[in-house]
A and B are shown apart, each in its own frame.
Chain A
Amino acid sequence: MASQDVLREEPSRGSFINDPKIRGIFFQVLVVVLLVAGVWWIAHNVIDNLTRLRIASGFGFLKGRAGFDISESAIAYSSDSTYGRAILVGLLNTLIVAIVGIITATIIGFVIGIGRLSQNWLIRKICTVYVEVFRNIPPLLVIFFWYSGVLAVLPAPRDSYNLPFGSFLNQRGFYFPRAVWGDGSWLIFVALLVGIAMAWFVARKARQRQMATGQQFPVFWTSAALIVGLPLLAYALSGFPLSFDYPKQSTFNLTGGFQVRPEFLSLYLALSCYTAAFIAEIVRAGIRGVSAGQTEAAAALGLRSGSILRLVVVPQAMRIVIPPLTSQYLNLTKNSSLAIAIGYPDLTATAGTVLNQTGQAVEGVVIMMVIYLAISLLTSLVMNWFNAKMALVER
């Protein structure tokens, strides 16, 4: 190291070819030029060949009429909608399964991860078996397991399992009553928002008071009363505007109510179970990463074991947990493209259909890549912000 530093400080001798500074700049410029030339060459080649083969190109096709139907859509969509809207429907379906999957995987993962550290032999072993089973099976097989192994062997719609509250379970999915909001139900939602805002305010005040005086306040019960009580009060005041649309038997299927299709269910369950196994390991590593001295010191201060976990161990564990957690969330989102194997209309499936109906493969693949990249970068951004917020603040 030292000898190199000495060399670098000396003025260049002889030809500038031997000047490390100029040489460094030269190669950096060269790499950039080659990269740009390479990308330009690929793009030019593609356009050239598309024209030569008389294949239509450009993104104008997105405005054309799609002509095909999609089974699940969060927004209004029919075969008269545009190709662009079909891709949007797919994107929303991907986001729905990714968000719901991430929430569930995180909950299962934390429970299993903490369970692996339990004092109880049975709980510890069950959690170990869960992690080892799901972590070592490819996600596609887990999806097929749920789709073909569990949901496909349920009875036909005629012989559905009747579940409580007017719900049904059969091989076409899970049906439950859909809430129909009548006049004046906006009051309930306003009350819910007010309740949440007030609960947040109470929690803040209680913390400030505890900091100042050391006196505690039953925040949990007050918040629960505010968040549940206020909407209930509004519900009664506005004259009970809520009714339910129950699923009923018809010629082919159950109609009415809300249907969760087996394609969504199996994808959601598979992604959650699969990713939860990895999250469990991350959580276990995070908790193990907090030194035992911290727990002992907290206990010496007289904190109860629940408080030790909540106030001392978890905040320090989060620091270790969040960065690998981000990659798991990204994995889950990208694994959702396996939906194509069971016919859930996610982004890959709908964009693929659009690609095939229009024949514009290059544009279709570019759209898919850009969207997945955007989703992943956005997830990383949010998680990085969360990470910065959870990082230890030293005082």
Chain B
Amino acid sequence: MKHIAIGILGAATLGLMASAASAATLDTVKAKGFIQCGVSTGLAGFSAPDDKGDWQGIDADFCRAVAAAVFGDGSKVKFTPLSAKERFTALQSGEIDILSRNTTWTINRDTALGLNFIGVTYYDGQGFMINAKKLPGVNSALQLSGAAVCVQSGTTTELNLADYFKANKMEYNPVVFEKLEEVNAAYDAGRCDVYTTDQSGLYGIRLTLGAPADHVVLPEIISKEPLGPAVRQGDDQWYHIVKWTYFALLQAEELGITKANVDEMKNSASPEIKRVLGQEADTKIGTDLGVSNDWVVNIVKAVGNYGEMFERNVGSGSPLKIARGINALWTKGGLQYAPPIR
């Protein structure tokens, strides 16, 4: 008995020591051989499983891009579907390596939650959707006083909604659910008059409703919703890899490097393109980051550049048909801008 007791004490002490030291994310990811990526439970265009069960969407593809940078293989990703409520705890506890789940970047999340947002992969804003057939004559969010509003709990959406109605001195009836599917079902069943979430989300959700043509998205945008991936604080190397994967996607689009032409671009005459693709002699850009020197080639081969990723998932190549708008590159009047890769 005594020996057992000593054994328990010893094990407890060992456990204490083990938990105090934590390994770098890059090393643990390399050791397990894949990236654990936190996505939504199903939002068309951002992260949703297709009919074969493969995750599709901008957020899912972003994780594939990081996997391509780290492993040279975009398929080395495992996805964890998370509700809005579960997402931050999953990242904090180390259950996932990247949170890529249409998550709004706010100061509170950056400072108090132990997260670091790496950038904005999609500039969004909160909007409202109504059933025009049931509510003819409503064409502005300012006419919504007294309405029942469906919203997902634990989101910035929920907070913006309260602020907007308060600022405009309107009443509303919140109908709050934890899971996106529950909100969708309640709205479709007519439990509420209005659906509010990010506008891109509204377009995606509209497609899943019983009669999509009956529903209209109202013109008002009531908030800034910069959506982007986040990683844990305190691991600068991993933060840099994820951040520069995003910048590499933008840079590739800016330089006209696509999935189709990436191999011939390697022999381009332009020194900038050669540098970005790791073809410069004795380049250390990739290895300094902690990945191989052809990391940008791997990223583009896996998911294409940012523009291709956008058009395939939410733009003209998708059922959502969302215009680039402010998500265009800075050279085309948008907000997407990458610092130089050199």
Binding site for B on A (CB under 8 A): 27, 30, 34, 37-38, 41, 45, 48-50, 52-56, 67-71, 78-79, 148, 152, 156, 171-172, 250-253, 255, 262-263, 340-343, 345, 349, 352-353, 355-359, 361
Contact = CB atoms under 8 A, between A and B. Distances in A.
Given A79-B163, A359-B109, A70 B190 contact: no
B12 A352 contact: no
Given A252-B144, A252-B147, A356-B85, 6 more contacts: A69-B174, A71-B176, A172-B191, A255-B146, A358-B112, A359-B114
Interface in B114-158: 114, 134-135, 143-144, 146-148, 153-154, 158
B89 A361 contact: yes
A34 B5 CA distance: 9
A359 B148 contact: no
B337 interface: no
Contacts of B12: 37-38, 41
Contacts of B10: none
B173 interface: yes
A15 to B, nearest CB: 13
Nearest to B112: A56
A279 B37 CA distance: 47
Nearest to B178: A340
B173 A54 contact: no
Contact of B175 (A343, A359, A361): A343
Contact of B190 (A30, A38, A67, A171): A171
B162 A67 contact: yes
Interface residues on B, range: 35 or more
B284 interface: no
Contacts of A38: 12
B62 interface: no
A30 B6 CA distance: 11
B265 interface: no
21 contacts: A41-B12, A45-B16, A48-B20, A52-B234, A53-B234, A54-B234, A55-B113, A70-B176, A78-B166, A79-B159, A148-B189, A152-B189, A252-B135, A252-B144, A252-B146, A255-B146, A352-B85, A352-B153, A352-B154, A353-B158, A357-B158
A72 to B, nearest CB: 10
A158 B61 CA distance: 45
Nearest to B173: A71
Nearest to A70: B174
B88 A356 contact: yes
Contacts of A349: 153, 176, 178
Contacts of A48: 19-20
Contacts of B84: 356
A153 to B, nearest CB: 8
A2 to B, nearest CB: 26
Contacts, number: 133
Contacts of B113: 55-56, 359
Contacts of B29: none
Contact of B92 (A55, A71, A342, A352): A55
Contact of A53 (B166, B175, B233): B233
B1 interface: yes
A250 B234 CA distance: 54
Nearest to A53: B114
Interface hub of A37, A53, A253 (most chain B Cβ within 10 A): A53
Contacts of B9: 34, 37
Contacts of A45: 16, 19
B177 A343 contact: yes
B162 A68 contact: yes
Nearest to B147: A252
A175 B178 CA distance: 26
A383 to B, nearest CB: 32
Given A68-B159, A68-B162, A69-B162, A356 B154 contact: yes
A53 B19 contact: no
Nearest to B91: A53
Given A49-B19, A53-B232, A359-B109, A250 B146 contact: yes
Nearest to A44: B16
Nearest to A34: B8
A353 B166 contact: no
A202 to B, nearest CB: 47
B97 interface: no
B180 interface: no
6 A-B pairs with the lowest CB-CB distances in the bound complex, closest first:
A356-B154, A359-B113, A79-B162, A55-B114, A53-B114, A56-B112
Contacts of A352: 85, 153-154, 178
Name, among A70, A148, A156, A252, the residue most crowded by chain B CB atoms within 10 Å (CB to CB): A252
B191 A152 contact: yes
B107 to A, nearest CB: 12
A90 to B, nearest CB: 12
Nearest to B130: A252
A54 B233 contact: yes
A353 B155 CA distance: 8
A362 B297 CA distance: 42
Contacts of A357: 154, 158-159
Contact of A353 (B19, B154, B163, B232): B154
Interface string B1-40: 1000100110010011001101000000000000000000
B193 to A, nearest CB: 5
Contacts of B144: 252
A251 B146 contact: yes
A250 B171 CA distance: 13
Given A38-B12, A171-B190, A343-B182, A253 B92 contact: no
B233 A156 contact: no
B162 A253 contact: no
B186 interface: yes
Contacts of B166: 78-79
Given A38-B12, A45-B19, A68 B158 contact: yes
Given A27-B1, A53-B92, A53-B234, A345 B134 contact: no
Contacts of B173: 71, 253
Contact of B5 (A30, A55, A148, A262): A30
